Structure 1
Amino acid sequence: MPKIVNTHQAEAWNGYEGKHWAENQDRYDAVNAGFNDLLITAADLSPDDRVLDIGCGNGRISRLIAPHVAHVTGVDLSGPMLARARMTATGVPNMTFEQGDAQVHPFPPHAFDVAVSRFGVMFFADPVAAFANIRGGLRPGGRLAFLSMRDLGDLAEVFAAFGGSPMSTSTETGPLSLSDPTVIDRVLTGAGFTDVTAEAVEADQVWGRDVADATEFIMGWGPVRFALRDASPSTVDEIRDSVAAALAPHADGDAVRLRGTARLVTARA
Structure 2
Amino acid sequence: MTATVDPSNSDQIAAWDGDQGAFWTKHAGRFNDGVAAYRDHFFSAAAIEPDAAVLDIGCGSGQSTRDAARQAKDGSALGVDLSARMLDLARELAEREDVPNATFLQADAQIHPFTEGGFDVVISRHGTMFFGDPEAAFANIARAVRPGGRLALLTWQPARRNEWMSTFRTIFSAGREQPTPAPRAGSLTDPDLTRELLTSAGFTAVELHPVSEPMYFGRDVEDALEFIVDQFGWMTRDLSPEDRSRVVDEVRADMRSHRTEHGVFYGSAAWIIQARRP
Please, what TM-score do these two structures have when normalized by structure 1?
0.93
Q: CA RMSD in A?
A: 1.9
Stretches of structure 1 that go unaligned for 5 or more consecutive residues are none
Contact 1:203/1:261 (<8 A) preserved: yes
Task: Indicate how the Cα distance of structure 1 residues 88 and 146 shifts in structure 2: closer, same or farther if over 3 A, else same.
Answer: same
Per-residue deviation, residues 56-80 of structure 1 (Å, max 9, x unmatched) = 0010111112122110000001111
Task: Say yes or no: does 1:143 pair with 2:150.
Answer: yes
Which residue type is aligned with residue 260 of structure 1?
S
- What percent of counterpart residues are identical? 40
In the alignment, what sits opposite 1:240?
Answer: 248
Which residue type is aligned with residue 149 of structure 2?
G
Aligned length: 266
Match of 1:88 among 76, 90, 93: 93
Q: Distance in 2 between matches of 1:180 and 1:110?
A: 28
Query: C-alpha displacement at 1:34, in angstroms?
Result: 1.0
Contact 1:159/1:243 (<8 A) preserved: no
Q: Distance in 2 between matches of 1:49 and 1:168?
A: 43
In the alignment, what sits opposite 2:261?
Answer: 253
In the alignment, what sits opposite 2:45?
Answer: 42
Task: Say yes or no: does 1:113 pair with 2:120.
Answer: yes
Query: C-alpha displacement at 1:45, in angstroms?
Result: 1.1
Q: After the TM superposition, which residues 164-175 of structure 1 pair with which residues of structure 2 at under 5 Å, given as runs? A: 170-172=181-183
Task: Indicate how the Cα distance of structure 1 residues 89 and 212 shifts in structure 2: closer, same or farther if over 3 A, else same.
Answer: same
In the alignment, what sits opposite 1:126?
Answer: 133
Task: Say yes or no: does 1:18 pair with 2:26.
Answer: no
Contact 2:172/2:233 (<8 A) preserved: no
Q: Distance in 2 between matches of 1:201 and 1:130?
A: 25
Contact 2:153/2:273 (<8 A) preserved: yes
Task: Indicate how the Cα distance of structure 1 residues 165 and 249 shifts in structure 2: closer, same or farther if over 3 A, else same.
Answer: farther
3-state secondary structure, aligned to 2:114: coil
In the alignment, what sits opposite 1:229?
Answer: 237
Task: Say yes or no: does 1:100 pair with 2:111.
Answer: no
Q: Distance in 2 between matches of 1:232 and 1:56?
A: 37
Per-residue deviation, residues 165-215 of structure 1 (Å, max 9, x unmatched) = 9997524359x8211110110110110110000111111111011111111
3-state secondary structure, aligned to 1:89: helix
Task: Say yes or no: does 1:54 pair with 2:57.
Answer: yes
Match of 2:230 among 213, 220, 223: 220
3-state secondary structure, aligned to 1:267: strand
Q: Distance in 2 between matches of 1:79 and 1:180?
A: 31
Q: Distance in 2 between matches of 1:167 and 1:17?
A: 21
Query: C-alpha displacement at 1:2, in angstroms?
Result: 0.9
Q: Distance in 2 between matches of 1:108 and 1:86?
A: 22
Q: After the TM superposition, which residues 188-227 of structure 1 pair with which residues of structure 2 at under 5 Å, given as runs? A: 188-221=198-231, 224-227=232-235
4+ residue runs over 6 A deviation = 164-168
Contact 1:61/1:118 (<8 A) preserved: yes
Contact 1:128/1:187 (<8 A) preserved: yes
In the alignment, what sits opposite 2:276?
Answer: 268
Q: Distance in 2 between matches of 1:247 and 1:226?
A: 19
Task: Say yes or no: does 1:154 pair with 2:157.
Answer: no
Query: C-alpha displacement at 1:119, in angstroms?
Result: 0.5
Match of 2:78 among 73, 76, 80: 73
Task: Indicate how the Cα distance of structure 1 residues 261 and 7 shifts in structure 2: closer, same or farther if over 3 A, else same.
Answer: same
Contact 2:110/2:141 (<8 A) preserved: yes
Per-residue deviation, residues 127-167 of structure 1 (Å, max 9, x unmatched) = 11111100111111110000111023111123221236999
Stretches of structure 2 that go unaligned for 5 or more consecutive residues are none
3-state secondary structure, aligned to 2:110: coil
3-state secondary structure, aligned to 1:247: helix
Which residue type is aligned with residue 77 of structure 1?
L
Query: C-alpha displacement at 1:16, in angstroms?
Result: 1.6
Contact 2:17/2:85 (<8 A) preserved: yes
